[in-house]
Amino acid sequence: MLSVAARTQFPGFALDVEFEAPSEGVTVLFGPSGCGKSTILAAVAGLAAPREGRIALDDTVLLDTARRIALPPEARRCATVFQDARLFPHMSVETNLRYGMRRAPAGATGPCFEEVVSLLGIGHLLGRRPGGLSGGEKQRVALGRALLARPRLLLMDEPLAALDAGRRAEVLPFLARLRDASRLPILYVTHALDEVDALADHLVLLKDGRVLADGRPEELSTRTDLPLAARRDAGVLLPVQVLAHEAAGGVSRLGFAGGELVTSLRPEPVGSYMRLRLRARDVAVATEEPRGISTQNILKARIVDIVPAGEAQEVFLHLALGPTILLARITRGSVGRLGLAPGGEVWALIKAVTFDHAGLPRGAV
Ligand SMILES: Nc1ncnc2c1ncn2[C@@H]1O[C@H](COP(=O)(O)OP(=O)(O)OP(=O)(O)O)[C@@H](O)[C@H]1O
């Protein structure tokens, strides 16, 4: 467990945060530019000291200002991956990777050179210089170098932010594999929601130097009181399992706690797990079972709550399908016209099941 409490002040900005991150898996620090994400990473790495605070990794205290403890960065065993890979340009990829290994303390355990090379798919790059690599390849080498230093904690400061969409899509699955193979806590800074969806086991939402909420991303995605709900792509993050492929009909069936969804045919094998975002704008409701309609996903649900959606003349419906909560964003006019109220039964029409934010939950690879 990584526990972080830090308070510090810059002109015009105050940071006052407290949160805990699980001992394994990715904890994402998510929030708008300037909310304090990098300041927190720097405090954990020991690159900048907060005015007050306590940071501990399991039973190792990295910082405790009250007890005047502040381990130097090299004693903290944190490895950091930045936006830019920061590889040594005059060394081959292999020498860059072996440089990481030289930083590993004697007796530290972790994946060996060959395992890391295979995990990140960089075997064919070993003899090359960083200058000739694509941005995505460089980032994979930087991830390898960080892992080979056998850290106790991996820090990632927007590792995909400098890559174009194609390269991001190339590196994202490697990050998921690294998360699953490394069994390390990873503190990951981003402001990209698709990275949250693909990687986060735990989410810390930040605003103006404060923690607004933290918890499992699936749970936070149902909260309409958080800034996430104001986004155009707001909606619940839903863990699903591929139940069947029906090639003749060109569809796959996905199961979730409380129901099934039909999608166009998916490439993932039957039994695989995925996590997808069902956008609130893509969910409509009907008070009677619709017939003669092209929408494939029509699921019976109960209205749990109706809450205003920002300034607009719209509301969020919290819909329960068994234990699963879905969000629908509809107009106030529709609520009145259909006589919707908490406790009422409706049919939820899922107009689109999009996979552009699909991610793999931990252990699902
Ligand atoms: N060394 C410093 N001196 C003065 N102000 C600083 C310093 N470091 C950070 N700040 C300020 O603290 C605030 C938080 O910065 P920080 O880099 O932690 O935000 P961030 O959430 O990581 O932002 P971004 O997503 O843009 O990287 C900003 O207003 C920044 O200007």
Backbone conformation region of residue 85, classed left if phi is above 0, alpha if psi is from -120 to 50, else beta:
alpha
Per-residue pLDDT tens over the stretch 294-326: 888 999 999 999 999 977 799 999 999 999 999
What are the residue ranges of CATH 2.40.50.100 in the chain? 235-358
Model pLDDT for residues 212-230, shown as the tens digit of each residue: 999 999 999 999 999 989 8
CA-nearest residue for atom 17, ligand 1, is 38
Residue environment code for 285-305, b if the CB has 16+ CB neighbours within 10 A, otherwise e: beeeeeeeeeeebbbebebee
User: Are the C-beta atoms of 18 and 4 separated by less than 8 Å?
Assistant: yes
CATH annotation of 235-358: 2.40.50.100
- What confidence score (pLDDT) does residue 52 get? 97
Question: How would you class 227 by CB atoms within 10 Å of its CB: exposed for 0-12, middle for 13-18, buried for 19 or more?
Answer: middle
Using CA positions, which residue lies closest to atom 3 of ligand 1?
Answer: 10
Averaged pLDDT of the chain: 92
Looking at the chain, the whole-number percentage of residues with pLDDT higher than 90 is: 75
The 10s digit of each residue's pLDDT in 139-164 is 999 999 999 999 999 999 999 998 88
Q: Give residue 33 CA to ligand 1 midpoint distance, Å.
A: 8
Higher-confidence residue of 285 and 174: namely: 285
| Among the ranges given (17-21, 68-72, 309-313, 331-335), the one the predictor scored with the smallest mean pLDDT | 309-313
Residue to probe by mutation, ligand 1, list 7, 13, 193, most atoms within 8 Å of CB: 13
Q: What is the pTM of this model?
A: 0.91
Q: Which residues line ligand 1 (CB under 6 A)?
A: 10, 13, 31, 33-39, 191
On the question of pLDDT at 247 being above 70, the answer is: yes
CB 184 within 8 A of CB 155: no
pLDDT above 50: residue 169: yes
- Maximum separation of any 2 CA atoms in the chain, in Å: 71
For CATH 3.40.50.300, list the domain ranges present in the chain. Answer: 2-225
Cα–Cα dist 261/138, whole Å: 38
For the segment 178-185, the average pLDDT, to the nearest whole number, is 87
pLDDT in tens, 53-106: 999 999 999 999 999 999 999 999 999 999 898 999 999 999 999 998 888 888
Q: Is the ipTM beyond the 0.90 threshold?
A: yes
C-alpha–C-alpha distance, residues 281 and 315, integer Å? 11
Res 176: pLDDT:
87
**Rounded Cα distance, 32 and 191, in Å:** 6
Determine the Cα–Cα distance for residues 159 and 144; give it in Å rounded to an integer. 13
pLDDT for the residue numbered 357: 47
Per-residue pLDDT, 174? 86
SS3 of residue 239 by DSSP: strand
Assigned architecture for domain 2-225:
3-Layer(aba) Sandwich (3.40)
